[in-house]
Structure 1
Amino acid sequence: MREHRVPPSPAVPGLRALLTTERPRPELIRRHPAAWRLAVATVCFGAFMGQLDASIVTLTYQPLREEFHSGLAGVEWVSLAYLLALVALLVPVGRLSDVHGRKLFYLYGFAVFTAASAACGLAPGLAALVGFRVVQAVGAALMQANSVALVTTSAPADRMRGALGIQAAGQALGLALGPTVGGALVDTLGWRWVFLVNVPIGVLALVGGHYLLPRTRQGADHGRIDVRGVLLLACSSTAALLALSVASGLGLPLWTVLGLVLIAGLAGWAFVRRQRSCPRPLLDLALLRAGRIGPGLLAGLCGYLVLFGPLVLVPVALARHGTAPLTTGLVLTALPVGFAVAATTAERLLPAGWSDLRRSRIGAAGCLVALALLVVLPLRAGTLPWSLALLGLALGVLIPANNTLVMRAIPAGSAGTGGGMVNMTRGLGTAIGVAAVTLALHLAAGDGGLRAAGFVLLGFAALALVTTVPLRLSVKFW
């Protein structure tokens, strides 16, 4: 079991020591042969909660519109504010976690996320709910930026890919249960319980994390965080996602799209220049040029984009054919179930000699085949489950192998930063997948829009496959 021995810190008075010191696991747990499995299971709580929240909140839109007398454009900020804050915070939080302790930040994430979930469930108005969702995103960033790093730190090297597969399965389970659990809660207890359901899970995970997670702080002093870099990154990602939202029918004038794209580009350019000149950059650009980290992050973004895009496309397609919501939910379940099955069994079923790169390539090729079927076959309840299940199986091979490929290439002292980068690509992939499909549906009417959205997803699957070709062939591409 790889648990870093942190040099003792100078004595710090009471409360400050309690809040800033990573506590070790009990010796009995640390020495137990299953200690790493217990740590991975604890991380899965966070993975489950994050994806449950991502797939459950959209079911509150209609009751929120009715209770707060708001239009859809206003209610969408319940999701948009959360996503924008999350994407902006993942990398800087990962950077801070490398210095001060990933376990410490992860537990703080559970505490903030759980408290903010309770506040969301008790929110007196829409503006307050949006504000509490931003706080909830802060907690989610503290968890998600450290989840991958905690798994790779806890699991033995020869079990890392399987451990990341288990974490991905936890994400898939949360994603799969979201529509069912959300629909049941909204229909029986009301929309507030969509948020309140996080509270007991969060309390349980907080207690478990205290006793089961290993200490991970490296003890190195990397200096102050690059605040200017944080602000530029937040500005660029926020403007880019807002531009996609506006173009997808958010309700703002179309000219704002060009303005937001310009702001995103300028802020992104300034961010890159800042990282190149800053003595202690927020994001070490040299990491992106090391081995397959850059192509791997792009492949991960495409993978999550392809995972979440159908969650928008399929309900729209089936609704146009008069399919009942319950049937739609069952059809959609084929995607995360296939993902969970592959993520948990691929390690045992695929040949042990296959490299992470080869597994990623096979997974990307499977995505391409599944989405080709999605484009060719009728978008009906009888045919969609097969292509969605195949897509889920392919993603269950691609994403864990790709994440392992990236994390193994990142130095141990930067694992939190690397984990933040991996999770930031997940957040961006999720947002772009939803926005790109919505944009295609918005720009093309009827079945033409459905096919256009399918081709968009197919194109990103092809891009994911290109990133997995041998490095000597893809260097010009990258």
Structure 2
Amino acid sequence: MNAASTLTARLLTERARPHGISGWRHAHWLAVGTVCLGAFLGQLTASITALVYPALQRHFGTGFAAVEWVALAYLLVLVALLAPVGRLSDLVGRKTVYIGGFAVFGLASLAAGFAGGLGTLVACRAVQAVGSAMMQANSVALVARGVPEHAMRRALGIQAAAQGLGLALGPSLGGLLVEHASWRWVFWINVPVALVGILAGWFLLPRTRRPDAAGPVPPPRRAVRTDRTDPDGGRFDLAGLLLLAGSTTALLLALSAASGLPLPGWVVAALLLATVLLGLGLVRQERRATRPILAPGLVNTPGVRPGLAVSLIGYLLLFCPLVLGPVLLAEAGLPTGQAGLVITVLPAAFAVAATVGGALLPRGWSDVARCRFGASLTGAGLLGCVLLPVAGAPALALAFPLLVAGGGLGLLLPANNALVMRAIPAECSAVGGGMVNMARSLGTALGTALPVLGVHLAGPVPGGRAVLLALAAVAGLAVALSRPVRRR
């Protein structure tokens, strides 16, 4: 065996935690904390980059339509890779892939800060998305399979709170870095967090793969197998990956073009047609593939399909106000500092509700009841944003409906994640977690693109209110999709 093979074998061999840590009865909370680092880092990146768009336009001398791809390139790669990386994690080991994600993300962030051109920066963001996919495809699975059954909902709520903290901290931190340092520090700030994540993952995450690579470490709780596919057999579904990447890219390009990107109308129509055709081709391919990246056997498991839809809706409802809010508040004449504080209320309320909100609800409530209540609160908050006269209203009054909406999302998403992960068999948990995160990423991408489309078509205030009204209706759809699973 040569030196390269030896090094590869050592890197792919998961190390057990130190005995003093693994023997502690609360060690699973250390693993949850490590997963929260990745959740925090991913959402911090999602919210902090929007603050650098004006600085990037000035530095590179380009327009907003080009700078927008700093975010879209990241989201496209993330959506395309979450499911296949989840399947790779089932084969290699979730701990190995998760730690590797921190390394890739940190190196790409370092390179992004040194980027000399917009094309280089976009390429670095795409590599960042590879590292983020390696973390996100394993985060839910590491939590769901690493904690006792009775603690899973609380652990998923803590993870969601870490995401909310990253979202809430991003705007204020990004503004400070751009104002007092440089836009480059928006990317360099990720490097120390990634280093801490590598060390924490190495020492605090439990091993998910046997040392001899004979198979995964059995989960701590019994699971019923409902998947009809062999998780280790067959070829990698390259055709499915290309169809998924092509369909999502065509959709986002069409939305971007309709929102002001200078492309001819026939190109937009062609992109929409390509979205439909590639989507139909993806459905057909996934039904025929030996090892499909979207795993129809899992999607068709009772409770998984509506749960994935609710995950997408939840992040659509979360990111639309974050993008749309500053536009509406600026039109109302609210100072930038006050507008930033008002917008921060939404992710902050999401983080708090995800952590402690469930404990305030009746203990006898099921996860389905929590989902319905959370979605109803979110819809009510968004409807309040539509009905509230923004002009002349005090900041506290403007923040209240966002507080209600954020709190509702903090109740909805952890309970929905628990429902989905309980329905997925243990041996396919990383693939299932990847699909959950892929749904989140699609919701994030749509939540970023749709407000720009509404404002471009109807103007800031009328278009913004129309988008918020549509979001309130979508929250009602989440209520309808949240229903008990009838086990077969």
Q: TM-score range by the shorter chain?
A: over 0.9
Q: Alpha-carbon deviation of 1:446?
A: 4.7
2:457 partner letter: L
- Of 359, 365, 378 in structure 2, the residue corresponding to residue 354 of structure 1 is 365
- The question of 1:277 aligning with 2:291 is answered no
What letter is aligned with 2:27?
A
Q: Which of 434, 439, 451 is the equivalent residue of 2:465?
A: 451
2:12 is the counterpart of 1:52: no
Task: Note if 1:438 corresponds to 2:452.
Answer: yes
Q: Which of 463, 466, 469 is matched with 2:480 structurally? A: 466
Give matches, 1:157-306, under 5 Å.
157-217=149-209, 218-219=215-216, 221-306=232-317
Q: Is the 8 A contact 2:137 2:433 kept in 1?
A: yes
Please give the alpha-carbon distance, in whole angstroms, between the structure 2 residues aligned to 1:46 and 1:254. 40
Once residues 448 and 16 of structure 1 are traced to their aligned partners in structure 2, the CA distance between those partners, rounded to angstroms, is 57
What residue is the counterpart of 2:389 in the other structure? 378
Q: Return 348-357 or 75-84, whichever deviates more.
A: 348-357
Give the Å deviation of 1:471: 6.1
2:402 paired residue among 358, 382, 388: 388
- 3-state secondary structure, aligned to 2:365: coil
Aligned residues: CA RMSD: 1.6
Residues 437 and 456 in structure 1, CA contact (< 8 A), matched pair in contact too: no
Deviation of 1:64 after TM superposition, in Å, equals 1.2
Query: In 2, distance between residues paired with 1:55 and 1:386?
Result: 21
Partner Cα separation in structure 1 for residue 207 and residue 485 of structure 2: 35
Q: Hey, what's the Cα distance between the residues in 2 that align with 1:58 and 1:46?
A: 20
Q: Is the counterpart of residue 22 in structure 1 residue 36 in structure 2? A: no
Q: Distance in 2 between matches of 1:337 and 1:128?
A: 33
Q: 1:252 to 1:360 in 2, by over 3 A?
A: same
Alignment of 1:417-428 (within 5 A): 417-428=431-442
Deviation of 1:234 after TM superposition, in Å, equals 0.9
CA contact (8 A) 2:303 2:484 kept: no
Offset at 1:221? 2.8
Q: Which residue of 2 is the match for residue 147 of structure 1?
A: 139
Q: Give the whole-Å Cα distance in 1 for the aligned partners of 2:265 and 2:36.
A: 41
1:279 to 1:124, Cα distance in 2 relative to 1, 3 A: same
Contact 1:185 / 1:194 at 8 angstroms: preserved in 2? yes
Q: CA contact under 8 A between 2:36 and 2:162: conserved in structure 1? A: yes
Q: How many residues align?
A: 462
Q: Which one-letter code corresponds to 2:359 in the other structure? A: R
Query: Match for 1:420: what amino acid?
Result: G
- Which residue, out of 401, 405, 416, partners 1:402? 416
Alpha-carbon distance in structure 1 between the residues aligned to 2:12 and 2:396? 55
How far apart, CA to CA, are the structure 1 residues paired with 2:484 and 2:129?
37
Q: Which deviates more, 242-251 or 177-186? A: 242-251
C-alpha distance in structure 1 between counterparts of 2:316 and 2:236, whole Å: 30
Partner of 2:76: 84
The gaps in structure 2 that reach 5 residues or longer are 210-214, 217-230
CA distance in 2, matches of 1:128, 1:232: 25
Paired residues of 2:165 and 2:351 also in contact (CA < 8 A): yes
Alpha-carbon distance change, 450 to 221 in structure 1, aligned in 2, over 3 angstroms: closer
- 8 Å Cα contact 2:455-2:464 kept in structure 1: yes
Q: Deviations over 1:109-147 (max 9, x none)?
A: 000000000000011111111111111110000001111
**CA deviation digits over 1:124-172, x for unaligned, max 9?**
1111111111111100000011111111111111000000000000000
Query: Is 1:131 the equivalent of 2:145?
Result: no
Identical-residue share of aligned pairs (%): 54
Q: Please say if residues 96 and 225 of structure 1, whose CA atoms lie closer than 8 Å, have aligned partners that are also in contact.
A: no
Normalized against structure 2, the TM-score is what? 0.92
Deviation at 1:13, TM superposition (A): 5.3
The code of the aligned residue for 1:160 comes to M
Q: Is the 8 A contact 2:235 2:290 kept in 1?
A: no
